[in-house]
Amino acid sequence: MDKLVAFGNTDLQIVPLIFGGNVFGWTLDEAQSFGILDGFIDLGFNAIDTANNYSHWVPGNQGGESETIIGNWIKNKGNRDDVVLMTKVGGRFGYDSKPNTKGSYIKEQVEFSLKRLQTDYIDLYQTHYDDSSTTVEETLRAYDDLIKEGKVRFIGASNIGTDRLIESLETSSKYGLNQYVSIQPEYNLYDRENYEIAYEATAKQFGLAVIPYYSLASGFLSGKYLNDSDFSKSARGEGIQKKYWNERGKRIVTVLNEVASSYRTSSSSVALAWLLAQPTITAPIASATNESHLHSFVSALQLRLGEEALAKLDTASQY
């Protein structure tokens, strides 16, 4: 695959679909993870996103399992320079813990991530969750030190309010510190409103790369949920049904299925192609648990939705 895009205002070049590593150590064990990563890279993709606390929510896990698996895979393949590696810091390691972006904590955690990932640098190091008790200047100075030390190439932010994001960008400019180059918001055909109202203009103004998570709305947009009975077939079905299965959700999946049929492709491919057609989106993040899912990633990059199809999807998902 030879379609590379610039990652915001950086020299990073990525194939515009990123693998979401939250499944490693959760729904995939190490051997299965290696197989999926091999398939992903063999298809020409090159970017992987994870976090230092994945997958702490699995009974028996402590957090860091995803990074460990990725690090073992990279060592096994010897392909570190061919992979754009993205991870995060600041998120919870348990439901009773809090986000933490203090400078000392970031510098401590980056060493753990580097060791687990078996690398001496991270391409994109991201604030996973904002810690409002810590000044943005303290957080940014820690990142700036890590970039100067060569341990991190670029920094980004994920779950951070618009005000704090803008304050962070302006603080970097004021003090000559390295600036966030990306934002990782929740954004998909169903969950549109927050990004489009709160973040889209800022991303455009500052030239941020936008790499949305939950690109398929936890699988709701994959085409596997078309009627009430489908939710009972999935371990996560009950939660997905509760969140998405309303009049608007039903309308979205119906139109998504119609468009997919007209293009002779999958609903997943159409949902990802819709994201890629949005002017501020750099690359969606999506996960896979078997190789058939990976082919929908390729189809999404090859798919060019026409104006009529895009209009139908926009209308169905109006909020």
* Catalytic annotation, residues: 54
Of 62, 74, 71, 64, give the one whose Cα is nearest residue 38. 74
Q: What's the CA dihedral at 152, 106, 160, 126 to 10 degrees?
A: 20
Maximum CA extent, the chain: 56
Distances (CA, A) of 54 to 1, 59, 68, 116: 29, 12, 10, 12
Between CA 154 and CA 178 the distance in angstroms is 8
With 0-12 / 13-18 / 19 or more C-beta atoms within 10 angstroms meaning exposed / middle / buried, residue 148 is: exposed
Q: Which residues, 6+ apart, have CB-to-CB distance to 72 below 8 Å?
A: 30, 34, 118
Decide the pairing of beta strands 152-159 and 122-129: parallel
Consecutive H or E run containing 89: strand 84-89
Residue at 85: amino acid letter: L
> Chain centroid to CA 111: how far?
22
